[in-house]
């Protein structure tokens, strides 16, 4: 797992994604936009986390339109409920 330091605390990528989704509630975001928004190197760091978080209470992950993407293409998006 990759760690970054923010405000003297160690923050994991799953924690960053969780906070990012809460901060962007109720926006639906795709993995690509989450990856770009958090300046992560690869989308593959995001996908397994959003898949897991999407099964958690308070979040939903389903096909839809990403609010940050400039594409009208339907893709998997996740949002905080």
Q: What mean pLDDT, rounded, does the chain reach? A: 86
In this prediction, residue 64 has a pLDDT band, given cuts at 50, 70 and 90, of very high
Q: Tokens 């293409």: give the residue.
A: 73
CATH number of the domain that residue 53 is part of: 1.10.10
Determine the pLDDT at residue 73: 85
pLDDT in tens, 6-29: 555 778 899 999 999 999 999 999
The arrangement of strands across the sheet holding 59-64 comes to 29-30, 75-80, 59-64
Locate 32 and state its tokens.
Answer: 């690509």
> Whole domain around residue 75: which residue ranges?
3-80
Position 28 scores a pLDDT of 94
């Amino acid at each position: 797992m990759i760690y970054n330091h923010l405000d003297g605390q160690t923050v994991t990528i799953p924690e960053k994604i969780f906070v990012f989704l809460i901060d962007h509630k109720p926006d639906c975001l795709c993995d690509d936009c989450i990856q770009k928004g958090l300046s992560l190197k690869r989308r593959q760091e995001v996908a397994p986390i959003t898949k897991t978080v999407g099964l958690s209470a308070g979040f939903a992950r389903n096909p839809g339109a990403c609010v940050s993407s400039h594409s009208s293409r339907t893709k998997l998006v996740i949002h905080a409920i």
